[in-house]
Amino acid sequence: MTITLSRLWRQNRFLLLFMVLMFAFRSAIADWNDVPTGSMQPTIVAGDRIFVNKMAYDLRLPFTHHALLKLADPQRGDIVVFDSEQAGKRLVKRVIGLPGDTLSMHNNVLMINGQTIRYHGLPESDTDYSEDLLGIEHRIRINPQRFNPMASFAETTVPEGAYLMLGDSRDNSADSRVIGFVPRDEIVGRALSVVLSFNYDNYYIPRADRFFAPL
């Protein structure tokens, strides 16, 4: 057995070393993630593969969540990837509330630190709106004709070391309204762009117009 393992190592050491380095790179520096649902529409659609900068906030020990060095903190409006213990899976959502923020929502209208967030409809869709997160504009999707029991929540304050996350598709997202505040140490990295995209509903045909689209 020892001879066999030794021979296997000699014959494949460069391939094995390459694989270890590649997985370490993907674990701690950068990776891409599949998005199987539409909870971040219209920004991210099901079938997108998004580029994730895993050094956006922390330098981590590969294959762990242990931070060796803090580089930055998530900011309001960032799209982040996190391993949710509550949900039991990796999720992609937008940072809405920072530690210490006080927020509430009434009929899909957010109030952050006493300021009512501004919205305006977009001409190309009767369900897409622009949301101004105190100077950071992005698109969200809301169907005003559809009853959504999560369209409102009472005033709440984000605790230290945690964030309030929402999906851009407000009627179709299991976010902080379901899983609660997201601890900072669950955050894996920041999503920056779409790498590839495939249409799950049409034989996985590539969506060329979404390749390398910024988020």
| CA-atom Rg of the chain in angstroms | 20
Label residue 2 exposed, middle or buried (CB < 10 Å: 0-12, 13-18, 19+).
exposed
Catalytic site includes residue 125:
no
Strand pairing partners for 81?
92, 189
How far apart CA 204 and CA 41 sit, in angstroms, is: 18
Marked catalytic residue, from 6, 70, 84, 93 = 93
Task: Give, as one character, the DSSP assignment of residue 214.
Answer: B
* Sign of the four-CA dihedral 144, 145, 149, 154: positive
Catalytic annotation present for 152? no
Give the other-Cβ count within 10 Å of 137's Cβ.
11
List active site positions. Answer: 39, 93
